[in-house]
């Protein structure tokens, strides 16, 4: 599986988005070392603060299937944005906790634009679990 395959899976997940309020559909997918892929889309609620992003749903989906930070090799997020879709601040913090800091994160859109980044770049000088010691 390459980055384009993973982005395709994120696009498929995006179609399952439940976003009647924003009408902004997002899809995400994470590839594991064993070849398994876990996807997520954004899920909204009439109580707006409860909306959950695609990126977090994909990571939590993987966790609920027994996967851990060290199992992840590639992550993709896609939306119908002008440029590559960038993860929100909350998702960056969750990626920092659950996704390897230097593994690739592909930000994509429906026009075929792709930007490769990683957690270190998305969230420098982050608060992390070691800070709690």
Question: Could you give the residue numbers annotated as active site?
Answer: 55
Which CB, 37 or 122, lies closer to ligand THU?
122
What's the gap between Cα 6 and its chain centre?
11
Q: Which two tokens stand for residue 83?
A: 């440029």
Which CB, 52 or 63, lies closer to ligand THU?
52
Residues of the shown chain interacting with ligand THU in the complex, contacts defined by CB under 6 A: 19, 22, 24, 26, 42, 44, 51, 53-55, 87-88, 91
Pairwise CA distance, residues 27 & 77, whole Å:
6
* Least CB distance to ligand THU at residue 108 (A): 12
Judge whether 4 and 10 are in contact, CB under 8 Å.
Answer: no
**DSSP for 52-82, written as a single string:** B-HHHHHHHHHHHTT--GGGEEEEEEEES-S
* Least CB distance to ligand THU at residue 130 (A): 25
Question: Measuring CA to CA, which residue among 79, 75, 62 is closest to residue 17?
Answer: 79
Which CB, 70 or 121, lies closer to ligand THU?
121
* Least CB distance to ligand THU at residue 54 (A): 4
């Amino acid at each position: 599986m390459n980055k384009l395959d993973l982005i395709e899976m994120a696009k498929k997940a995006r179609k399952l988005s439940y976003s009647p309020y924003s009408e902004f559909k997002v899809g995400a997918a994470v590839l594991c070392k064993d070849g398994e892929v876990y996807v997520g889309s954004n899920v909204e609620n009439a109580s707006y603060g409860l909306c959950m992003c695609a990126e977090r749903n994909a990571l939590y989906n993987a966790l609920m299937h027994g996967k851990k930070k060290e199992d992840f090799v590639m992550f993709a997020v896609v939306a119908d944005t002008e440029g590559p879709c960038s993860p929100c601040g909350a998702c960056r913090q969750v990626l920092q906790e659950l996704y390897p800091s230097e593994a690739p994160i592909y930000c994509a859109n429906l026009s075929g634009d792709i930007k490769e980044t990683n957690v270190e770049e998305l969230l420098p000088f982050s608060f992390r679990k070691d800070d709690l010691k």
